[in-house]
């Protein structure tokens, strides 16, 4: 069972990766391309168009969301103990 779970985790990480929005966009683009093809429309242009749209969105999301939040000055400075007498 552990090997099956590891196999599933690998494929989830491989397909979804860091950004689920890009994975969903690729699936939607493939479905849209197939739908346009079935309707008789030349649809080669849909996936490159999605790439032009999704790549900047993914990069913007990656840059604007820090992986490790920055600590403020108040968090870096230890609080004085209530029993410590004030400095003279």
Domain boundaries, the chain: 17-64
Summarised one tens digit per residue, pLDDT across range 24-69 is 999 999 999 999 999 999 999 999 999 999 988 888 887 876 656 6
* Residue 54, token pair as written in the block: 């999704």
Question: Residue 3: how many CA atoms within 13 Å on its side-chain side?
Answer: 0
Quickly count: other Cβ atoms within 10 Å of residue 16's Cβ.
13
Sort residue 81 into left (φ over 0), alpha (ψ -120 to 50) or beta: beta
Locate 50 and state its tokens. 């999605």
Looking at residue 81, its pLDDT comes to 62
């Amino acid at each position: 069972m552990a090997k099956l779970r590891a196999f599933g985790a690998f494929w989830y990480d491989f397909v979804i990766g860091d950004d689920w929005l890009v994975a969903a966009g690729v699936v939607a683009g493939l479905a849209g391309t197939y739908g346009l093809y079935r309707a008789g429309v030349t649809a080669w242009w849909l996936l490159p168009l999605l790439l032009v749209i999704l790549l900047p969105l993914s990069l913007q999301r990656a840059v604007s969301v820090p992986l490790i939040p920055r600590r403020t000055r108040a968090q870096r400075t230890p609080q004085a103990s209530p029993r410590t007498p004030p400095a003279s």
